[in-house]
Structure 1
Amino acid sequence: MKTVIEGSHAVSYGAMLSRVQVISAYPITPQTHIVEKLAELCASGELQAKFIKVESEHSAMASCIGASAVGARAFTATSSQGLALMHELLHWASGARVPVVMANVNRTLAAPWNIWCDQTDSLSQRDTGWLQFYCESSQEVLDTVIQAFRISEAVSLPSMVVLDAFYLSHTFETVDLPDVERVDRFLPPYDPKYKLDPKDPRTIGSLTPPELLTEMRFQTQEAMEEAKSLILQVNEEYYRSFGRRYGLVEAYRCDDPELVVVTSGTVSSTCREVVDRYRGEGKAIGLLKIRTFRPFPSEEVRRALKGVPKVAVIDRNISYGVGGIFAAELKSAICSEEERPTVFSYITGLGGRDITVETLSRVIENTIEQDDPGRPILWPDLMK
């Protein structure tokens, strides 16, 4: 059924269609509409789930970990400072191998105080052992929530579904809500091999000696690597059932490019339009959208950029002392290639500043004109 809803509600309906059993969350702008809609669905009986009201995001994640550990399908949502407050328990969730799914609405971290969009909040958690998916549209958000449960429950790792604040969370788009019966066939009930049960006592995450810790970390890394092929497999199954696919990356007009612009999130839509304009002028520009950040799709990136002379990476984030985080990951992925592109790292759109057609055109023109970036970070919002 097609309907017009905001991106936040696409998250909510994705969770409902996934038949979540436990929801625990604390409201924070711009995530609030997600949990408000879920609370409404629970209160009306449309969603048969336990909604746990808590006093903080830290407690919300603790509740989800506990629920998942006893075999319930658990979901939460947060943003910015709320995600930062969860940090300790994000490590716990992945270390305990519980497949919690969380939506994070990208919002700037304070200080200074700012409620608008950038990706630094979710990317600051990139080493916690969570899968991370960056969504371009409300439809992709809904579909990714459903897929994330299937993937997480298969590899026993938590997933973070990431969407841009306001550009996506508060914008209304047409979304196809699939029939719940079809979703049920795609996503069967959660039935973990191990769970906490008084009839079969065991512990999770207890004191582990040095002789075992490395083996456990190795298994987590192996599960993260396994997730790459599983994401592609689940993506194809989803396509056969619902007619939509996303995968790890999306290469757009990358057959013969002289320059590829690398994006994530909603700016990908704007960049697609810009690429089409340049193609209409006879300029060979391509787009590579990175959807899956963890596990990072290194092989797919190398394949997409093989033979490309120049790459312009758009980062709506910053790692102080390094630069753009997507650019750093991309450089790491291609560093062993004998022939690799010159990478231009652009940081733009911080704190909710619009990444416009003009901004992207400025990026492309600067990259075309220069043989070398000249500096590790370029700031198109500050270019005159």
Structure 2
Amino acid sequence: MLQITEGSHAVAEIAKFCRPQVVAAYPITPQTHIVEALADMVANCELDAEYITVESEFSALSACLGASAAGSRVYSATTSQGLALMFEVCFNVAGMRQPIVMSIVNRSLGAPLSIWNDQQDSISLRDSGWLQFYAEDNQEATDLHMIAYKVAEDHDVLLPAFVCFDGFILSHTYEPVDMPSQEEVDAYLPAFTPYHRLDAKDPISMGMYATPDYYMEFRYELERAMQRSIDVIKRAGAEFAEQFGRDYSALVESYRLDDAEIAFIAMGSICGTVKDAIDEMRDAGKKVGLAKIRTYRPFPTEELTRALAGVSTVAVLDKNISLGSGGAVGTEVKAMLAGSGITVLDYIIALGGRDVRKRDIAAIVDLADKGVGDMFYGLRTEVL
């Protein structure tokens, strides 16, 4: 059913429809509306789940880990400093192969304190073993939660998943969302069947001490699962398209790339602005396109390489900074395209929620035409 709803409320609604048995979360701006709504649903008997009230984000994900290990489908949500506080537990969740799904309402990390958007928080956990999905709009944020559960819980994957969408830009914005019914979600997402679980009648141990003789093999298995998830994501996206008509079978979405000479690479809500700017530049005769990364982990090397075939220059828009190296996405794209003859230019942009307008996208195309890149775009030099 099509409805006009706030992004956070749409995500809370779809989380309910995914039938989590345990929800544990701690409120933090701009994620709070999600867990407030879920708490109301539990209190009003609209969601049959255990809602665990905790004193911190560390405790929230720790409770989720225990509940998942006991065989429950689990949901949480956080952002920014809250995700940073979960850092230790994020590695434990992935290492113990618990398929928890967590919404990340992307927000800058301090200091200085900022409550506005960039993608530094989730990017900082890129090596933790969590799948990472990025949504352009609230419809995509809603849909990706169903896909995330389906992929994470697949017994060929068994990895936790972030569903990332931009704080305030999406979380607090009202947009049309085609919300499925409970029956439609049930038809797509089967009941959770844990691969293994804690059971007093059949005791096992999880997250044990590993000596140097065994630790590397555990990390290797995580990498294998991450790579196997590529085919599972494609299959889950194709099944979603068959049922709902929206196709998420590609990890990379191409926009007007067929004859493009310059290609943007971006993730999240900025892609909508880039698409509008591309349409205007196309009308003016500039051959520009976009490769939108929907799934950052696993990194879509094969699809991205194929999408960029034929372009001469790539402009990566990084809403993060890997200090001392450049943008995280740009660094990976440069490694991926090394020796290809394609020029890769990285632009650190929109940190701390700074606005990006169509004129900024056009200005970056002009810079890319001149070969000027690997820079912070839009710096206020007068305050430096």
TM-score range (shorter-chain normalised) is over 0.9
Residue 127 (structure 1) aligned with residue 130 (structure 2): no
Residue identity (%)? 46
Shift of 1:200: 0.8
Contact 1:87 1:125 in 2 (8 A): yes
Relative to 1, partners in 2 of residues 1:378 and 1:115: Cα closer, same or farther, differing over 3 Å? closer
- Given that 1:346 and 1:380 are in contact with CA atoms closer than 8 Å, whether structure 2 keeps it comes out as no
- Name the structure 2 match of 1:117: 117
Deviations 1:64-83 (A, max 9, x none): 00111011000100010000
Give the aligned residue type for 2:264.
V
8 Å Cα contact 2:117-2:167 kept in structure 1: yes
Note if 1:364 corresponds to 2:365: yes
Q: Deviation at 1:324? A: 1.0
> C-alpha separation between the residues in 1 aligned to 2:35 and 2:109?
21
- 2:47 aligned residue: 47
Residue matched to 1:266? 269
Deviation at 1:378, TM superposition (A): 4.2
Deviations 1:103-156 (A, max 9, x none): 111111111111000111110111111000111111111110111011001111
Q: Secondary structure at the match of 1:10?
A: helix
Distance in 1 separating the partners of 2:311 and 2:126? 28
> How much has 1:383 moved relative to structure 2?
8.2
Picking from 239, 242, 246, the partner of 1:240 is 242
Give yes or no for the alignment of 1:255 onto 2:275: no
Task: Say if 2:281 and 2:362, in contact at 8 Å, map to a contact too.
Answer: no
Where does residue 20 of structure 2 map in the other structure?
Answer: 20
Please give the secondary structure, in 1, of the residue aligned with 2:239. Answer: helix
Q: Distance in 1 between matches of 2:41 and 2:336?
A: 43
Q: Is the Cα contact below 8 Å between 2:130 and 2:159 reproduced in 1?
A: yes
1:382: Cα distance to partner? 4.5
After TM superposition, the structure 1 = structure 2 runs for residues 310-349 of structure 1, keeping only pairs within 5 Å, are 310-335=313-338, 338-349=339-350
Q: Which residue of 1 aligns with 2:231?
A: 229
Using the alignment, how far apart are the partners of 1:340 and 1:268 within structure 2? Answer: 25
Question: What TM-score, normalized by structure 2, do the two folds share?
Answer: 0.96
| TM-aligned CA distance change 1:383 to 1:362, over 3 Å | farther
**Uncovered stretches (5+) of structure 1, i.e. residues with no partner:** none
Which residue type is aligned with residue 201 of structure 1? P
Output the CA distance in 1 between the equivalents of 2:285 and 2:72: 54
SS in 1 for 2:153: helix
Query: Is the 1:116–1:351 contact (alpha carbons within 8 Å) kept by the matching residues of 2?
Result: yes
Scaled by the length of structure 1, what TM-score is found? Answer: 0.96
- Correspondence 1:304 to 2:302: no
Task: Report the equivalent of 1:193.
Answer: 195
Is the alpha carbon distance of 1:348 and 1:342 closer, same or farther for their aligned partners in structure 2, counting shifts above 3 Å?
Answer: same
State the AA in 2 paired with 1:31.
Q
The aligned residue for residue 287 of structure 2 is 284
Separation in 1, partners of 2:257, 2:381: 27
Q: Distance in 1 between matches of 2:353 and 2:177?
A: 24
Q: Deviations over 1:140-198 (max 9, x none)?
A: 11110111011001111000010101000000001111121121121111111211011
Structure 1 segments, 4+ long, off by >3 Å, are 380-384
- Counterpart amino acid of residue 127 in structure 2: D
Q: What are the superposed Cα offsets for residues 288-339 of structure 1, whole Å, 9 maximum, x if unpaired?
A: 111111000011111111121011111111111011111111112222xx43
State the AA in 2 paired with 1:376.
D
Q: Distance in 1 between matches of 2:340 and 2:267?
A: 25
RMSD: 1.3
Shift of 1:210: 2.4
> Structure 2 CA distance, aligned partners of 1:340 and 1:144?
34
Alpha-carbon distance in structure 2 between the residues aligned to 1:209 and 1:321: 33
Instruction: For 1:83 and 1:340, locate their aligned partners in 2 and report how far apart those are by CA, in whole Å.
Output: 38
How much does 1:381 deviate?
Answer: 4.2
> Across the two proteins, how many residue pairs are aligned to each other?
379
